[in-house]
Amino acid sequence: MKNVLVNLEHISKSYDGQMILDDLNLYIRENEFLTLLGPSGCGKTTTLRILGGFEQPDTGRVVFEDKDITNLPANKRQLNTVFQKYALFTHMNIAENIAFGLKIKNKSKAYIDDKIKYALKLVNLDGYEKRMPDSLSGGQQQRIAIARAIVNEPKLLLLDEPLGALDLKLRQDMQYELIRLKNELGITFIYVTHDQEEALTMSDTIVVMNQGYIQQIGSPERIYNEPENAFVADFIGESNIIGATMITDRLVEILGARFACVDEGFGENKPVDVVIRPEDVELVKPEEGTISGVVSHIIFKGVHYEMEVQANGFEWLVHSTRMFPVGTSVGIKVDPFNIQIMNKPESEDEEATKLDE
């Protein structure tokens, strides 16, 4: 396992009596691309600001390389932050923007010139030294903001929704650019976004947050394929989330029909929630399905067809490369490995419970 670079220990923060972070614990490893993912107001940007030294936690500590830096000001920390609003100095050219932090550190002119060339090459903007920020596109300005951060050789780069203002194609290009930079530089990246696809594309580790609590931590594959609760399942990609009964190990009753599954240890005849991804629902002839229904809606999405199937009182979402016209009677089959069982929340607000470490 890689060395732990940063530890957030028992971090709490509230504004005007409203709890934003509640006893948050999180460690970040060296050279990791870790994404804080969640809806607006879940506490992800507050976590980033506490890490960056822009906010003080009410309780808890920030430990960086085994040193407590909770009270260390932002400019004394071995990290840099890239914001959604690029925050470039409009009266300075690109070289001056990139050199700003190095000049404050009293680096030599030769050192600064070398670093500017190196940083511009890294972000694929060689020769842009004399350009002014307002002559650059949004994507180019964002690259300059990243170049300005990396010339300071931070051990940790914090990115607060840095691609949010870009159009889709540019955003996708920049995602690959950031992955490449992270691999080339060996810097730890902490990335804040509410965009699930962005998190799945770029991260080594995703931290899903909601209402100040961590809901799940894991690799993109684990978060997507094995969500730990209905919030994660619903937030990451599209899902069929259905109330069901665990009959016994490896057998679950969904909408009155019994499906084989691979989960164990939930007890017998216990209420559970089931997650089935739309791409894991197989449409077959009615007599071949575990349950049968009728196609009620269809949209062509390019790569696949998105269909809704009314079956046993539930509207199933199905993604398939095969097209079944509206009105077609179909059977529904699901591979046992593609049925994800979750404990049912005991109360309405248990959606935002603390993660059991």
Rounded distance between C-alpha atoms, residue 9 and residue 170, angstroms? 37
251 and 171 in a common domain: no
Q: What is the pLDDT along the chain (357 residues), one digit of tens a residue?
A: 579 999 999 999 999 989 999 999 999 999 999 999 999 989 999 999 999 999 999 999 999 999 999 999 998 998 988 887 777 899 999 999 999 988 988 889 999 999 999 999 888 899 999 999 999 988 889 889 988 988 888 999 999 988 877 788 878 888 888 898 888 888 999 999 999 999 999 999 999 999 999 999 999 999 999 999 999 999 998 999 999 999 999 999 999 999 999 999 999 999 999 999 999 999 999 999 999 999 999 999 999 999 999 999 999 999 999 999 999 999 999 999 999 999 887 644 555 554 444
φ, ψ of residue 153 to 5 degrees: the values are: 50, 55
**Structure tokens given for 165:** 């203002």
Q: Where is the domain boundary, 173, 201, 225?
A: 225
CATH code assigned at 86 = 3.40.50.300
Distances 170 to 69, 107, 161, 190, 202 between C-alpha atoms, Å: 36, 34, 14, 21, 15
φ, ψ of residue 80 to 5 degrees: the values are: -135, 155
Q: pTM to 2 decimals?
A: 0.87
247 and 209 in a common domain: no
Q: Where is the domain boundary, 225, 250, 275?
A: 225
3-state DSSP assignment of residue 118: helix
For residues 355 and 309, the answer to whether their CB atoms sit within 8 Å is no
46 and 18 in a common domain: yes
29 and 126 in a common domain: yes
330 and 277 in a common domain: yes
Give the helix/strand (H/E) hosting 117.
helix 109-122
CATH code assigned at 330 = 2.40.50.140
280 and 193 in a common domain: no
Strands (E), the chain: 4-15, 18-29, 33-37, 59-64, 67-68, 79-83, 156-160, 188-193, 205-210, 213-218, 240-248, 251-254, 257-260, 270-276, 282-284, 291-300, 305-311, 314-320, 329-333, 340-343
Q: Where is the domain boundary, 184, 201, 225?
A: 225
**Helix/strand/coil percentages in the chain, nearest 5:** 30, 35, 35
Which residue bears the tokens 């809704």? 308
- Going by the DSSP 8-state scheme, the letter that residue 223 receives in this structure is H
Q: Is the dihedral of CA 221, 163, 7, 15 positive or negative?
A: negative
Query: For position 1, what pLDDT does the model report?
Result: 55
Tell me if 233 is assigned to some domain.
Answer: no
21 and 84 in a common domain: yes
Distances 131 to 65, 69, 83, 134, 140 between C-alpha atoms, Å: 38, 38, 21, 9, 11
φ, ψ of residue 56 to 5 degrees: the values are: -105, 135
Tell me if 349 is assigned to some domain.
Answer: no
CA-based Rg of the chain, rounded to a whole angstrom?
24
Q: Which structural domain, as residue segments, surrounds residue 100?
A: 4-225
Query: For position 357, what pLDDT does the model report?
Result: 40
Neighbours of 323 (CB within 10 A): 13
Query: For position 246, what pLDDT does the model report?
Result: 98
Query: For position 290, what pLDDT does the model report?
Result: 97
160 and 42 in a common domain: yes
> What is the tally of structural domains in the chain?
2
* Number of residues in the chain: 357
Tell me if 308 is assigned to some domain.
Answer: yes
Rounded distance between C-alpha atoms, residue 194 and residue 3, angstroms? 28
272 and 192 in a common domain: no
Tell me if 351 is assigned to some domain.
Answer: no
30 and 164 in a common domain: yes
* Residue 158 CA to its chain's centroid (Å): 14
Tell me if 265 is assigned to some domain.
Answer: yes
Tell me if 230 is assigned to some domain.
Answer: no
Query: For position 346, what pLDDT does the model report?
Result: 67
218 and 110 in a common domain: yes
**Pick from 133, 190, 182, 200: nearest CA to 162:** 190
298 and 190 in a common domain: no
Query: For position 356, what pLDDT does the model report?
Result: 43
Tell me if 315 is assigned to some domain.
Answer: yes
Query: For position 354, what pLDDT does the model report?
Result: 44
Tell me if 234 is assigned to some domain.
Answer: no
